[in-house]
Amino acid sequence: MTALGIHCFVPPYLLAELARRGTLDAGYVDACLRVDTTFRERRGPGRDGGTPPRAGDARWTVHTSDGSERLPGEPVRREGEPATGDEAVDEAAAGITATLDLFRDDFARDSYDAAGAKLLLTVHYGRDYANAFWDGTHLVFGDGDGRVFRRFTRAIDVLAHEFTHAVTEHTAGLVYRGQSGALNESVSDVFAICLKQRVLGQDSSSGSWLIGEEIFVPGVEARGLRDMERPGTAYDDPRLGKDPQPAHLDDYVETSDDNGGVHLNSGIPNRAFVLAARAIGGDTATGAGRVWYDALTSGDLTPTSDFAAFAAVTVAVAGDHADAVTAAWEGVGVTPGRSSTTPSPGEAPRPVAGPVVVRRSGGIVGQVVEGAIDPSADDDVAREVRTLVDRVDLTAAAAAYGNQADRYTYRVRVGDGDGAQEVDVPEGALTDDLRRLVTLVLGGR
């Protein structure tokens, strides 16, 4: 059995690489991925019929899980209250205040739903949890493992990135898969960098384009988690591997991992945004950021819009900057309006006997973990796996696929050859039996 995966702010491909290289213990990585899988697929408020929290006057409340996986945890600081001295709590408070102010001041948007929804933030989530995510209700941040990652509240752009997933959920609703999923990730990076430059007093000509610059421990050869200007160059370290993001459509990565490579291929629209911001000039948020925001909220996008469709809408709303925006997209190989269909999950074939393989991907890190078990073996684990395979309904679980930004996805395959059943199951769609099955196949972690 081999261990490889994850899904949240840190992409699953990176977590998988850390486990493969032995940088992080496979059991630890698996635990991080399991956490992400449990919550990523949980559908959020607003578009899915729920009601965003609105109690009280404070725009936000920070909670602590104190190392547990309880959400939201205990409330420790509300807007208007003084600093607590807990670095994670106070960083989260400063970050969400700055993020809400950015969207209010530059885009006239009141919270993620444009109707004043109150924000629930949780810090100290899990035991050394190396990720951050939005689960449809909570913004959640781990403290990192201490060997590769530091606490995720250190980077204000991480917080803005996760908040923007909520904005996208309540506007274009970009499906978290394939090109639309890569756009979902890219849009979060776009407004994360707008906030970072605003806080640092930078503009499009001199500003940083690094996402997650502060989340790595000293000594790791990483300038950040992603480089929007030069995708594929953010890190190159024996413990991490080399940043695999493409910068041009010619290098688009076709993969079944990480919801179709959403954290990988987001490098392409990320670079298009940088080229547009540089061409438009001035303040990034009110320049190219305004164009991207108007496109996101235009009503002209569909949940499965691909790069070309999104590009066409940005050109349409760019006004005097239409030529600059067109050139930016063409600079990464995307012709605005020349669309292709974003793939969607297919129907699963009938289950058959054979090996059971589980591959977990996703998360902000993008790491992958994989395991396999022969259910015909004569041992307790194989016997339990046989029982679980007979009980679980993979087709029904796969049908629950939804917009699950920065969460884990489990690819479960039973059997070999043309008769195998293979489905993608979102983290939040795991039943008790299915969660037990994937845990066993991934090594009992």
- Rounded to whole angstroms, the Cα distance separating 20 from 222 reads 18
- Rounded to whole angstroms, the Cα distance separating 411 from 388 reads 16
Sign of CA dihedral 158, 193, 229, 300: positive
Tokens representing 262 are 């959403």
Question: Smallest Cα–Cα separation from 178: which of 32, 366, 296, 341?
Answer: 341
Instruction: Look up 263 and say whether it is catalytic.
Output: yes
Instruction: Look up 87 and say whether it is catalytic.
Output: no
Residues contacting residue 244 through CB under 8 Å, at least 6 positions apart: 13, 232, 253, 264
Backbone angles phi, psi at 259, to 5 degrees: 55, 40
Contact of 235 with 224, CB cutoff 8 Å: yes
Sign of CA dihedral 32, 37, 41, 44: negative
Containing 369, the helix (H) or strand (E) segment is strand 369-373
Which residue is catalytic, options 17, 162, 169, 427?
162
Which residue is catalytic, options 63, 124, 165, 263?
263
Tokens representing 424 are 């993608």
- Rounded to whole angstroms, the Cα distance separating 444 from 280 reads 53
Residues contacting residue 11 through CB under 8 Å, at least 6 positions apart: 258, 263, 264, 362, 363, 364, 365, 366, 367
Backbone angles phi, psi at 242, to 5 degrees: -110, 140
- List residues with catalytic annotation: 162, 263
